[in-house]
Amino acid sequence: MRFYADGEGVTFCALGQVLKDDCLNQLSAGHRKTAFALKLNVLWLIEKYGLERIGFLTLTFARHVVAYKEGQKALHSLMTGVLKQRGC
């Protein structure tokens, strides 16, 4: 998948597919559910802790990681191998 920012949100097209107007702004049902759940959780966090105390971190990996478990392993490696040694 490739993601494109369009000013109103994130859109996607299948990898290798030529970008056409009809493939933009079309999320699968699963992606819409995930986006909705994320929105609700962020709004709840803002309500509970205040906007000034909320941060959002996006991590990217050198290799293409799509499995949750593989991402967790990479994050754990970062936390224990780099951040912990720096005292973070």
Q: Which amino acid is at 47?
A: E
Q: What is the pTM of this model?
A: 0.49
Percentage helix, strand, coil, to 5, in the chain? Answer: 50, 10, 40
- 12 forms bridges with which residues in the sheet? 3
14-30 tens-digit pLDDT: 554 545 555 556 788 89
Give the containing element (helix H, strand E) for 40. Answer: helix 29-49
**Domain map (residue ranges) of the chain:** 1-52, 57-88
Q: How far is CA 54 from the centre of its chain?
A: 16
Residue with tokens 């079309």: 26
**With bands split at pLDDT 50, 70 and 90, how would you rate the model's confidence at 3?**
very low
